[in-house]
Amino acid sequence: MKKTYKIDVDCANCANKMENAAKNTDGVKDAVVNFMTLKMSVEFEDGADPKEVMPRVLAACKKVESDCEIFLK
Amino acid sequence: MNRKQKKNLIRIIVASAMMIGFLFIPVSGIWRLMLFLVPYLIVGYDILIKAAKGVKNLQPFDECFLMAIATIGAMIVAVIGDSDYYEAVAVMLFYQIGEWFQGYAIGKSRRNISDLMDIRPDYANLETDGQIEKVDPDEVEIGSVIVVRAGEKIPLDGVIIEGQSTLNTSALTGESLPRDVRVGDDVISGCINLSGLLRVRTTKEFEESTASKILDLVENASSKKSRSEHFISRFARVYTPVVVFSALALAVLPPLIRMLAGMDALWGMWIYRALTFLVISCPCALVISIPLSFFAGIGGASREGVLVKGSDYLERLSKTRTVVFDKTGTLTKGVFEVTAVHPEEIDEKTLLHLAAHVERHSSHPIAASLKAAYPGEADDCEITGVEEIPGQGARATVNGRVVCVGNEKMMRTVGASIRKCSHHHTGTVVHISRDGKYLGHIEISDVVKPGAENAIRSLHRSGVKHTVMLTGDSQRVAVHVADELGVDEVHADLLPEDKVSELEKLLEHRKPSEVVAFVGDGINDAPVLSRADIGIAMGAMGSDAAIEAADIVLMDDDPVKIAKAIRISRKCMRIVKENIWFSIGIKVLCLILGALGFANMWVAIFADVGVMVIAVLNAIRALFVKNL
């Protein structure tokens, strides 16, 4: 399953770091952060619940870049 | 400017005013330090907090950390040495100015690019029980009737059920000529209705409509990252730690060596140099300018009706040396047209008139072209006994006389003697007889697109070395078309699977750095499109299959756009390379100057901000592709 979230982050390098953090979160198969459109698209592993995974992705991103936000609908 | 930017701007102004003011206050020692700490904290508190958080989360190597160390270091050097406190404040200030400018420039270019691609409709006028209501396009169901007034954007794909108008399709196709539409025509979302009022029955939901699909595609394009982008993110990942450790070495090693050699260690000077080194090291100019260049390039291309599905493809397109065409639908119109009429005894019009009558009810492409050549077919002539004879043609009684339209075999059957034509035929020939008497023949062929020859020429001019045409058509027709257009190589009589193997042969013989592109119309050639290094589909207005299968989609069917797409990609890649070399070059130069003591922190900050600004402005150039 694939979902796209709006994000807010200030610098491109920080966006790269968020991408790596999201990729390394359990339940995430792949993640791509697009700094230009400020969007993060996350591909979840089979059986993973986005509602459960996304808060952990957010926490992981906050850890590498404190000044970032992922808007979970 | 958003709220954050406004707040930061105020912080920058307040801190600069304070710093300049304090320079005139004659205090020294601890009081001076206290005084300068005020603007320092005003402008830099968030950086310090972020740096602390980074250390706490074991992610110390970011710019905030670098800036915090550099400025705190500068403070300490000022306390123990002879430099002044304002230097630390100034460095932090310049850093924030740089950040602010970067945020502003990126926000601005982001808006510029999205404005250019502004095809997203805001509302739809939904008609229910004679009432018109403004609703979100998302809420309109398939089969609803919507009203599009003059000047409005068509919100959803559909069919016109009332009214006629001209549409501006330029946002989708880059084509500035308006398109006329009337009842029964398909319209696609994103076009602007220029003149009349249209009532449209929707055929797709908003999510599936052309405008949404295109936006989706362009916005997600940068997720297929190019090699340059991968290179940059890898570079950034190793670059920061390397710089930090080099700075550490620079701060510690030379003084130690000097001490061992019995000289004055000069700790202050070397630490200062190391701090300068840190300031220069921020990789952001590089990291931002590359994706921004691609984003601008893809945005500019989409404005010209060229949809690129990823920066990866833009990069590959720029290396295209061989372009392989499918003939039908790309170089030729893919529809049959009457290209010659050779009557015997009667005039051309009468011959077409008779042929069209006999084919009145047929839906065969040849029949369609005959009817198209004689628009007033539905007149009061009496047509009876229409009969199709498989493998031969069709027969009917027109005004009491039996007219046959078909091939040579049919003419032999009815006893009409064919006069061989001296003309050089490249299409299908249809013979006509009346009451067993030969009346003449009509030639029908696939017509070369008006821009095709020009397209091949401009491809060669744009650096494409080899053009190849693949077709299922006969050798004779293929060679004729190829000669007319100036295509280098032709393979005819190919079945769809042969096209794949022909392409594979070409792929085998190319150099590794060269790219083979295949251009098709997206119908029947999906396997070839996906097998090529780059698959280009043309004439994709409304064709989902083509959009799915290809890497690059040309919205209209003008082959000249292929050369244009290649030129756009070249320009974009040139800008990307410029930015990579320029940013890395200036950084390395400053690092060397900093290590040798020729650059102080001010120079370092200016180098950093300056490089970033120039790189961003350069990246924006990729957006301007109109006159390429």
Q: Do A34 and B220 touch (CB under 8 A)?
A: yes
* pLDDT tens-place string over residues A44-70: 988 888 888 999 999 988 888 777 888
CATH class of the domain whose range is B124-155+157-203:
mainly beta
pLDDT at B60 over 70: no
pLDDT at B222 over 80: no
Label residue B418 by pLDDT band (50, 70, 90): confident
From the list A36, A65, A66, the residue facing B222 with the nearest CB is: A36
Q: Which of B511, B520, B550 is nearest to B534 (CA)?
A: B550
Spatial strand order of the sheet with B306-308 comes to: B306-308, B552-554, B534-537, B515-520, B320-326, B466-470, B489-491
Percent of chain B with pLDDT over 90: 11
A contacts of B284 (beta carbons < 8 Å): 11-13
Q: Do B59 and A63 touch (CB under 8 A)?
A: yes
Q: Do A66 and B103 touch (CB under 8 A)?
A: no
The whole-number average pLDDT for the span B322-332 is 86
- Output the 3-class SS for B326-340: ECECCCEEEEEEEEE
Q: Is B54 on the interface with A (CB under 8 A)?
A: yes
Residue B103 to chain A, least CA–CA distance (Å): 7
A contacts of B57 (beta carbons < 8 Å): 63-64, 66
- B381/B368 Cα distance (integer angstroms): 19
Tokens of B370: 């005959």
CATH of A2-71, one of 1.20.1260.10, 3.40.30.110, 3.30.70.100, 2.102.10.10: 3.30.70.100
The whole-number average pLDDT for the span B237-260 is 85
pLDDT at B543 over 70: no
Residue scoring higher pLDDT (B419 or B21): B21
Number of inter-chain CB pairs under 8 A, A vs B: 61
From the list A10, A16, A36, the residue facing B295 with the nearest CB is: A36
Residue B223 to chain A, least CA–CA distance (Å): 6
* pLDDT tens-place string over residues B270-291: 887 887 777 777 666 677 778 8
State yes or no: is B129 an active-site residue: no
Q: Do A66 and B50 touch (CB under 8 A)?
A: yes
Residue scoring higher pLDDT (B129 or B110): B129
Mean pLDDT of chain B: 83
pLDDT at B57 over 90: no
Residue B328 to chain A, least CA–CA distance (Å): 37
For residue A67, the SS3 value is coil
* pLDDT at residue B284 in the model: 66
Mutate to test the interface with A, among B207, B219, B230 (most CBs of A within 10 A): B219
* pLDDT at residue B576 in the model: 92
- A22/A50 Cα distance (integer angstroms): 12
Q: Is B42 exposed, middle or buried (0-12, 13-18, 19+ CB in 10 A)?
A: buried
Q: Which of B184, B186, B183 is nearest to B169 (CA)?
A: B186
Residue B621 amino acid letter:
R
Q: Do B223 and A63 touch (CB under 8 A)?
A: no
Q: Which of B578, B512, B458 is nearest to B319 (CA)?
A: B512
pLDDT at A71 over 80: yes
* pLDDT tens-place string over residues B131-153: 888 888 888 888 899 999 888 88
Contact A28, A46 (CB under 8 A): no
B contacts of A10 (beta carbons < 8 Å): 99, 103
DSSP state of B153: B
User: Active-site residue among B157, B312, B326, B473?
Assistant: B326
Percent of chain B with pLDDT over 70: 94
Backbone region of residue B474 per phi and psi (left: phi > 0; alpha: psi in -120 to 50; beta: other values): beta
Label residue B59 by pLDDT band (50, 70, 90): low
The neighbour count for residue B589, using CB atoms within 10 Å, is: 13
* pLDDT tens-place string over residues B71-100: 888 888 787 766 677 778 888 888 888 788
Q: Do B222 and A17 touch (CB under 8 A)?
A: no
- B371/B394 Cα distance (integer angstroms): 14
Distances in whole angstroms, Cα of residue B107 to Cα of each of A37, B99, B223: 10, 12, 19
- A14/A29 Cα distance (integer angstroms): 20
* pLDDT at residue B25 in the model: 83
* pLDDT at residue B237 in the model: 77
- Output the 3-class SS for B480-519: HHHHHHCCCEEECCCCHHHHHHHHHHHHHHCCCCCEEEEE
* pLDDT tens-place string over residues B166-181: 888 877 777 777 888 8
Residue range(s) in chain B whose domain bears CATH number 2.70.150.10: 124-155+157-203
* pLDDT at residue B302 in the model: 83
From the list A13, A34, A41, the residue facing B284 with the nearest CB is: A13
Pairing of strands B145-148, B198-202: antiparallel
Mutate to test the interface with A, among B233, B309, B572 (most CBs of A within 10 A): B233
Q: What Rg, from alpha-carbon coordinates, does chain A have? A: 11
The whole-number average pLDDT for the span B313-339 is 86
Contact B195, B168 (CB under 8 A): no
Contact B428, B364 (CB under 8 A): no
* pLDDT tens-place string over residues B68-77: 887 888 888 7
Mutate to test the interface with A, among B4, B220, B314 (most CBs of A within 10 A): B220
- Output the pTM of the full model: 0.76
Label residue B444 by pLDDT band (50, 70, 90): confident
From A68, which residue of chain B is nearest by alpha-carbon distance?
A: B50
Q: Do B102 and A11 touch (CB under 8 A)?
A: yes
Is domain B333-448 annotated with CATH 3.40.1110.10?
yes
* pLDDT tens-place string over residues A4-19: 888 888 777 778 888 8
Label residue B318 by pLDDT band (50, 70, 90): very high
Place of tokens 């030729």: B332
Q: Do B233 and A16 touch (CB under 8 A)?
A: yes
pLDDT at B296 over 60: yes
* pLDDT tens-place string over residues B382-410: 888 888 887 788 889 988 889 999 888 88
* pLDDT at residue B271 in the model: 81
Tokens of B381: 């002539």
Mutate to test the interface with B, among A4, A14, A20, A36 (most CBs of B within 10 A): A36
- B572/B554 Cα distance (integer angstroms): 18
* pLDDT at residue B540 in the model: 63
Burial B228-238 (b: 16+ CB within 10 A, else e): bbeebbebbee
Sign of CA dihedral B301, B305, B306, B308: positive
Residue range(s) in chain B whose domain bears CATH number 3.40.1110.10: 333-448
Residues of A with CB under 8 A from a CB of B: 10-14, 16-17, 32, 34-39, 41, 63-67
pLDDT at B594 over 90: no
Angle at the Cα of B227 from the Cα atoms of A44 and B527, rounded to 5 degrees: 70
* pLDDT at residue A73 in the model: 67
Backbone region of residue B622 per phi and psi (left: phi > 0; alpha: psi in -120 to 50; beta: other values): alpha
DSSP state of B380: S
- What residues of chain B, 189 to 228, have a C-beta less than 8 Å from chain A? 219-220, 222-223, 225
* pLDDT at residue B426 in the model: 67
Label residue B492 by pLDDT band (50, 70, 90): confident
From the list A11, A65, A66, the residue facing B284 with the nearest CB is: A11
Pairing of strands B428-434, B437-448: antiparallel
Q: Is B628 exposed, middle or buried (0-12, 13-18, 19+ CB in 10 A)?
A: middle
